[in-house]
Amino acid sequence: MGESAPFTVGRLRYEVVAPGGEAVALTVGAGQLLEVADREGQQVADLIAFAARDRTEGLSTGHTRSALLRLVVGDRLQSNWRRPMFEIVLDDVGVHDVITAMCDARRHALDYGVLDHPSCRSNLTQALRPWGIAEWQIPAPVNLFQNAPISGDRSFGNQVPTSRAGDRIVLLCHLDAVVGVSPGARRAAAGGAARAPLLGEAEARAVDQARTLFASSTWPTRRTSTRAPSAAGRSVSSRSCAA
């Protein structure tokens, strides 16, 4: 389990629920608290953010990694201008990831043979459209509750999240921000490591066809897949509170 620092949560301003397969966006002011909660357990939440006053500044996993050895209570998540954007003030889980890219259309096509499946990237693009944020501007996410350890041989793992229903992380916002949250697709880990799915002959043909389409830049308008990603995402909630 993670650590919890003593603090008082002020009046709840609003709560936004992100159902599985969708994303939400909200604004949080400097000095306010952002809470992201796992409503059902073992659910990853992709978190991205932009400075409200200048969208060229945003939450950066690369700059956060270079400033911190791990994410614990008291740590500050950095922007691409090396300014603190969020500070962890409460964390029920203590397991998060700042390495893995969010899922996108190419991931679903190349790994699963699906060309029209929603992804975290497309969901966040849609949620952030009212703020004029385009898909190419979506940065790498902080994957809240994702259990992706690095083993002794330096290989990357992807294990089942340890979060339980109701677990949360609370962030103190240091900058006025536009925040996007997307529940990630829930994937089972076999033997503690992420592995490619075993495909039958028809499924393998579907994946090969998807790869060929990507290579030729030929996009059909719609296609029914023989295999969907392993499981649908679950919901998470995001709340903004006065500190």
For the chain, what is the radius of gyration of the CA atoms? 18
Give the pLDDT confidence of 8-21 residue by residue, as tens digits: 444 556 678 887 78
pLDDT of residue 204: 52
Q: At what angle do helices 201-216 and 105-112 cross, to 10 degrees?
A: 140
Give the pLDDT confidence of 184-201 residue by residue, as tens digits: 754 422 222 222 333 445
Q: Alpha-carbon torsion 154, 184, 128, 95, what sign?
A: negative
Partners of 173 in beta bridges: 86
Q: Decide if pLDDT at 161 tops 70.
A: yes
Tell me the pTM. 0.74
Q: Which residues neighbour 220 within 8 Å (Cβ) at sequence distance 6 or greater?
A: 115, 213
Neighbouring CB atoms inside 10 A of 129's CB total: 12
